[in-house]
């Protein structure tokens, strides 16, 4: 193991202005660490206000009086991030302050307990960027199932592998006809940055879904995190696409037929329960049947 | 001062709106609003008010209504909302969040029975269930009391010595849906009365902090102590806000505790909200017959004015508490507070009467009955149910 070089004084004070500062509590290889840094890079000088519900993302901050977040950050109750962010965003608008309000939430807060709040904020088309870092598990409470957990996955509340399929949150959000919804891949930096900048240029509700590796919950190696996302994209398990106005679809990265087993075999959440790869293959097939159908019927236009 | 014949809900909606509007030179006002009987007209009023710098968000639930208020307040705006019964219960988690975030949000609670069974009539159990949420609580007896209390509550809540949210309660239907002639203060006067709202811990780009993150036990205990200290500031700040109210509006609002005929009283009854008005009439009648009886209107419930109550009951022999609420396994919630206040300071007999639960009428006959019962008592017993004899 090599030791990291000691940062200079200038670098240290720079770090304080980072959206995500060093010394945060994320596990090694956590997808949030990359996601937050890229969010920071994409927004640049355009500093966001973060609203974070109960999830690993608020633990990231560390303990009072320090915080790993270098931007104003509000901890919301588990189901409330989009409601609290609405309050913030409305007051910014009333005061002519053009600042991005960003919800940073887990899949539990998005797919489960917060789904009504999220749906309502989207329906009202509140001006905010909503990001779900989806680790397909309740990380904070020690790895229980969520409705984002894929079929077959072993969690602390699905010992024999989850019986139900993963919920299609992108379809639900597209159904709200919001200005912009997209998935973000942690293996495709340029695509990630472009989409966040795009979202920032639009008024109204913008939704992002990140498949976020969680070595602790996925029982994978920290250094595999980006590879795993690449494999999820290539195999077609995690489609990289964007939806404009809820009705115009574009796929940004085509899968290349990499077998999903490559992805599964590096995570004990799949190997432990001997999850049948056919289950995931069927899921991939259905997912692309739907997605390709949407792209054919409702393609994004040249101005999207 | 504009006098108008309006319902309690109209009066509350008006007071919230002009208070919100008064912050237009600062960061404006915002709220999340969600309907529930019997408070719905309040949020309808808020939604229809033409704010110069304000916006009322029509949310999908009470939980989110308070969520929006929390976000708006943290962004520096004046924030307010209204709810009742199951709405307050559904909102619960964020009510606590607002309190412990020290946000000066004002919420109107139109008291209604918490279901099941389904019942829309008055019972103070809904708002009393939020007594530990780090909110001030005011209970009002009339339309005018309601309007005045709302304006005073904003001033106290936003005072930096306090910085706590406040709940202002009124009786469902008995006040919310009946009309009375009320002084509705004009906007310029309210502008004068309410200084611009400034939330010192609002989100800031100069000093970005994380609000509500993890704290260790020691820091948490500090925080709790600070909340308690803030509560202890309320009586002083409230009396200043009351004097200022007299100066601006030329009228004296009710204070934390109204003692009527208590100086020489041997028996005193304690009540809140509209029960006070019936009680007042009964006490007047019995005074006229020469009975040494008085009453105390409990308006401020959090912080509970223990010292004032103790002082007021110094020479009293018997106290009857009228509770239109019930804490199962214990009794009336006001009674709990009264007995705690008197602990070790008095050998006064305190008897609890559970009355008008689920919206039953608390008539002069019932109150007379209670007074007779109290006269006969040699010692206090368990809380007595007045309507249904067990
Ligand atoms: C109302 C409420 N219920 C339960 C919890 C406990 N809780 C905190 S975080 C969490 C799970 C979060 O999961 P997710 O949103 O997927 O984020 P992650 O922890 O995986 O980052 C739970 C159940 C809570 N904080 N609030
Ligand atoms: S448990 Fe998972 S999501 Fe939470 S910090 Fe660790 S790696 Fe990240």
In a domain, residue A304? The reply is no
Q: What's the pTM value of the predicted model, to 2 decimals?
A: 0.97
Question: Is A83–B77 a contact, with Cβ atoms under 8 angstroms apart?
Answer: no
Categorize the per-residue pLDDT at A14 as very low, low, confident or very high, splitting at 50, 70 and 90. Answer: confident
Residue B94 — very low, low, confident or very high, per pLDDT cuts 50/70/90?
Answer: very high
Q: How far apart are CA A152 and CA A165, in angstroms?
A: 8
Asked if B9 is an interface residue toward chain A (Cβ–Cβ < 8 A), one would say no
Kindly report, residue by residue over B112-144, the tens digit of the pLDDT: 999 999 999 999 999 999 999 999 999 999 999
Whichever domain contains A95, its CATH number is: 3.40.50.970
How long a stretch of residues is chain A?
A: 304
Residue B390, pLDDT score? 47
Using only the alpha carbons of chain B, give its radius of gyration: 21
Residue A88 resides in a domain: yes
| Candidate from B43-47, B49-53, B383-387 with smallest mean pLDDT | B383-387
Residue B154, pLDDT score: 98
Instruction: Give the count of domains, chain A.
Output: 1
| Token pair in block for residue B127 | 């708002």
Among protein residues, the one whose CA lies closest to atom 11 of ligand 1: A138
Mean pLDDT, chain A, whole residue set = 95
- What is the domain extent for residue A36? 16-297
- Residue A2: inside a domain: no
Residue A51: per-residue pLDDT: 98
Q: Mind listing the pLDDT tens digit for each residue in B354-378?
A: 999 999 999 999 999 999 999 999 9
Alpha-carbon torsion (A65, A33, A209, A42), positive or negative: positive
For testing the chain A interface, which of B31, B62, B68, B207 should be mutated: the one with the most A CBs within 10 Å? B68
Question: What would the mean pLDDT of B54-68 be, rounded to a whole number?
Answer: 98
Taking the CA of A28 as reference, the closest ligand is 2
Partner B contacted by A63 (CB < 8 A): yes
Any A CB within 8 A of B358 CB: no
What's the confidence (pLDDT) of residue A7? 66
Could you give all domains of chain B from N- to C-terminal order, each with its CATH number? 2-249 (3.40.50.970), 259-386 (3.40.50.920)
Instruction: Tell whether the model's pLDDT for residue A1 goes beyond 90.
Output: no
Name the pLDDT band for A8 (thresholds 50, 70, 90).
Answer: confident
For residue B389, what pLDDT is reported? 57
Q: Which residues line ligand 2 (CB under 6 A)?
A: A 26-27, 30, 32, 56, 135, 139, 214-217
3-state secondary structure chain B: CEEEEEEHHHHHHHHHHHHHHCCCCCCCEEEEECCCCCCHHHHHHHHHCCCCCEEEEECCCHHHHHHHHHHHHHCCCEEEEEECHHHHHHHHHHHHHHHHCCCCCEEEEEECCCCCCCCCCCCCHHHHCCCCCCCEEEECCCHHHHHHHHHHHHHHHHCCCCCCCEEEEEECCCCCCCEEEEEECCHHHHHHHCCCCCCCCCCCCCCCCEECCECCHHHHHHHHHHHHHHHHHHHHHHHHHHHHHHHHHCCCCCCCEEEECCCCCCEEEEECCCHHHHHHHHHHHHHHCCCCEEEEEECEEECCCHHHHHHHCCCCCEEEEEECCCECCCECHHHHHHHHHHCCCCCCEEEEEECCHHHCCCCHHHHHHHHHHHHHCCCCCCCEECCCCC
* The pLDDT value given to residue B183: 97
Q: What are the angstrom distances between the C-alpha of A47 and each of A71, A182, B184, B213?
A: 7, 21, 43, 20
Protein residue with least CA distance to atom 2, ligand 2: A214
**Residue A28 Cα: closest atom of ligand 2:** 7
A64 interfaces chain B, CB cutoff of 8 Å: yes
The answer to whether position A11 is within a domain reads: no
pLDDT at res. A17? 83
Torsion of Cα atoms, A114 then A117 then A119 then A123, to 10°: -160
Q: What whole-number distance in Å separates Cα of residue A221 and Cα of residue A230?
A: 15
Which tens digit of pLDDT belongs to each residue from B320-349? 999 999 999 999 999 999 999 998 876 899
B165 interfacial to chain A (CB closer than 8 Å)? no
pLDDT score recorded for residue A179: 98
- Span A85-113, average pLDDT: 98
Percent of chain A scoring above 90 in pLDDT = 92
Specify burial of residue A23 (Cβ count, 10 A radius: 0-12, 13-18, 19+): exposed
| Average pLDDT of the segment spanning A5-34 | 85
Cβ-proximal residues to B121 (8 Å cutoff; 6+ apart), any chain = B112, B113, B172, B173, B358, B359, B360
Asked, for residue A188, whether it belongs to a domain, the answer is yes
Assigned domain for A6 exists: no
Instruction: Name the residue with higher pLDDT: A134 or A14.
Output: A134
- What would the pLDDT profile of B199-208 be if each residue is shown by its tens digit? 999 999 988 9
Interface test mutation site (partner A, options B75, B102, B226, max chain A beta carbons within 10 A): B75
Give the Cα separation of B376 and B86 in Å (integer). 39
User: For B10-33, what is each residue's pLDDT tens digit?
Assistant: 999 999 999 999 999 999 999 999
Share of chain B above pLDDT 70, in %: 99
φ and ψ at B75, to 5 degrees?
A: -90, 5
Residue B264 pLDDT > 70: yes
Residue A303 in any domain: the answer is no
Q: What is the pLDDT at residue B256?
A: 93
Residue B146 Cα to ligand 2 midpoint, Å, equals 50
Q: What pLDDT digit, counting tens, does each position of B134-193 carry?
A: 999 999 999 999 999 999 999 999 999 999 999 999 999 999 999 999 999 999 999 999
Residue to substitute from A51, A62, A72, A105, interface B, most B β-carbons within 10 A: A72
- Separation in Å, CA A128 to CA A9, A240, B186, B302: 35, 21, 36, 37
| Cα–Cα distance for residue pair A256/A145, rounded to 1 Å | 29
CB–CB of B213 and A72 under 8 A? no
Pocket of ligand 1 (CB under 6 A): A 54-57, 78, 106-109, 135, 137-141, 146
Give pLDDT, residue A3.
59
Q: Count other C-beta atoms under 10 Å from residue B368's C-beta.
A: 13
For residue A80, give the nearest of B27, B77, B94 by CB distance. Answer: B94
The pLDDT-based confidence of B1 (bands split at 50, 70, 90) is low
- Give the pLDDT mean for A34-42: 97
Per-residue confidence (pLDDT) for residue B344, from 0 to 100: 82
Q: Among B65, B93, B216, whose Cβ lies nearest the Cβ of A63?
A: B216
What is the ipTM for the molecules in this complex?
0.96
The whole-chain average pLDDT of chain B stands at 96
pLDDT per residue as tens digits for the range A182-215:
999 999 999 999 999 999 999 999 999 999 999 9
Q: Is the pLDDT of residue A291 over 50?
A: yes
Structural domain includes residue A133: yes
- Is the pLDDT at A9 greater than 70? The verdict is no
Mean pLDDT of B77-84: 98
Interchain contact A15–B (C-beta under 8 A): no
Q: Which of B27, B69, B213 has its CB closest to that of A75?
A: B213
Cα A161 off chain centre by: 23
Name the nearest CA neighbour of A276 among A131, A154, A108, A127. Answer: A154
């Amino acid at each position: 193991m090599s030791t990291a070089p000691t940062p200079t004084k200038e670098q240290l004070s720079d770090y304080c202005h980072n959206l995500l500062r060093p010394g945060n509590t994320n596990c090694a290889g956590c997808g949030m660490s990359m996601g937050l840094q890229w969010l920071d890079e994409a927004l640049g000088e355009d500093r966001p206000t973060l609203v974070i519900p109960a999830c690993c993302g608020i633990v990231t901050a560390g303990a009072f009086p320090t915080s790993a977040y270098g931007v104003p950050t509000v901890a919301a109750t588990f189901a409330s991030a989009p409601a609290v962010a609405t309050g913030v965003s409305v007051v910014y608008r009333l005061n002519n302050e053009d600042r991005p309000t960003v919800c940073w939430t887990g899949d539990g807060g998005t797919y489960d307990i917060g789904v009504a709040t999220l749906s309502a904020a989207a329906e009202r088309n509140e001006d905010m960027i909503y990001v779900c870092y989806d680790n397909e598990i309740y990380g904070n409470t020690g790895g229980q199932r969520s409705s984002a957990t894929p079929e077959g996955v072993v969690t602390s509340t699905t010992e024999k592998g989850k019986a139900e399929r993963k919920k299609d949150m992108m379809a639900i959000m597209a159904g709200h006809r919001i200005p912009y919804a997209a998935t973000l891949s942690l293996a495709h930096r340029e695509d990630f940055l472009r989409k966040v900048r795009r979202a920032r240029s639009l008024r109204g509700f913008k939704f992002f879904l990140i498949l976020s590796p969680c070595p602790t919950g996925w029982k994978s190696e920290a250094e595999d995190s980006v590879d795993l996302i690449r494999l999820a994209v290539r195999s077609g398990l995690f489609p990289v696409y964007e939806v404009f106005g809820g009705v115009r679809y574009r796929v940004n990265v085509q899968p290349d037929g990499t077998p999903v087993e490559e992805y599964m075999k590096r995570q004990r959440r799949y190997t432990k329960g001997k999850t049948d790869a056919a289950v995931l293959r069927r899921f991939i097939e259905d997912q692309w049947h739907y997605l390709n159908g949407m792209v054919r019927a409702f393609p994004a236009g040249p101005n999207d | 001062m504009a006098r108008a014949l309006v319902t309690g809900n109209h009066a509350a909606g008006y007071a919230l709106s002009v208070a919100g509007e008064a912050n237009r030179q600062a960061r404006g006002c915002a709220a999340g609003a969600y309907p529930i009987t019997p408070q719905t007209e309040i949020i309808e009023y808020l939604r229809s008010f033409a704010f110069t710098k304000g916006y009322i968000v029509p949310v999908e639930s009470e939980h989110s209504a308070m969520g929006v208020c929390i976000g708006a307040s943290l962004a520096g705006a004046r924030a307010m909302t209204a709810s009742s019964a199951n709405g307050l219960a559904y909102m619960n988690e964020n009510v606590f969040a607002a309190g412990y975030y020290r946000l000066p949000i004002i919420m109107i609670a139109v008291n209604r029975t918490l279901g099941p069974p389904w019942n829309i009539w008055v019972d103070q159990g809904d708002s009393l269930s939020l007594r530990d949420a780090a909110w001030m609580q005011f209970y009002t007896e009339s339309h005018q009391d309601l309007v005045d209390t709302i304006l005073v509550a904003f001033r106290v809540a936003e005072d930096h010595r306090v910085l706590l949210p406040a709940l202002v309660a009124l009786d469902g239907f008995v006040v919310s849906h009946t009309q009375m002639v009320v002084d509705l203060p004009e906007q310029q006067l309210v502008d004068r009365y309410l200084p611009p709202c400034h939330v010192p811990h609002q989100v800031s780009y100069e000093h970005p902090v994380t609000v509500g993150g993890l704290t260790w036990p020691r820091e948490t205990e500090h925080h709790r102590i600070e909340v308690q200290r803030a509560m202890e500031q309320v009586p002083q700040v409230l009396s200043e806000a009351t004097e200022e109210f007299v100066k601006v509006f030329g009228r004296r609002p009710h204070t934390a505790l109204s003692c009527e005929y208590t100086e020489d009283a041997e028996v005193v009854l304690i009540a809140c909200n509209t029960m006070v008005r019936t009680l007042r009439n009964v006490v007047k009648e019995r005074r006229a017959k020469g009975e040494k009886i008085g009453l105390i209107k409990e308006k401020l419930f959090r912080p509970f004015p223990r010292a004032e109550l103790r002082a007021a009951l110094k020479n009293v022999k018997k106290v009857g508490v009228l509770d239109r609420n019930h804490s199962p396994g214990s009794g009336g919630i006001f009674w709990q507070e009264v007995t705690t206040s008197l602990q070790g300071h008095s050998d006064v007999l305190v008897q609890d009467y559970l009355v008008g639960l689920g919206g039953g009428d608390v008539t002069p006959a019932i109150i007379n009955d209670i007074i007779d019962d109290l006269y006969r008592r040699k010692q206090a017993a368990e809380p007595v149910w007045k309507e249904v004899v067990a």
